[in-house]
Amino acid sequence: MATKTTETKGQELRKPDAQGRIAIGKEHADETYAVEKQSNGDILLRPVIGIHKREAWLFNNSLALESVKRGLADSAAGRIHDLGSFEEFAEDDDED
């Protein structure tokens, strides 16, 4: 079992259990972390969220992302106008 050994200078020192695990606290139980091993031996945990692969393009396209953000801001501010139905452009064959 991983144990908290001491606390010094605002840091907790913990020792891994026999399988190399270190508990970071129940408050982090439902979170996902990227584990980054630094060249100096440090191990950095970065909290991450998952994004569906088909949606990731938006976060890699700064122009498209800014456009979406502007649209959301406009909508929140009431700067919208109804363009009517787009039903005629709908396709029944969903490829997903």
Contact between 45 and 34 under an 8 Å Cβ cutoff? The reply is: yes
| Position 2 confidence tier, pLDDT thresholds 50, 70, 90 | low
Long-range contacts of 5-14 (CB under 8 A, 24+ apart): none
Look at residue 58 and give its three-state secondary structure.
Answer: helix
At 4-50, the pLDDT tens digits run 666 667 788 889 999 999 999 999 999 999 999 999 999 999 999 98
pLDDT tens sequence across 71-80: 999 999 999 9
pLDDT at 3: 63
Q: How far apart are CA 20 and CA 4, in angstroms?
A: 14
To which residue do tokens 């456009």 refer?
67
3-state secondary structure of 71: helix
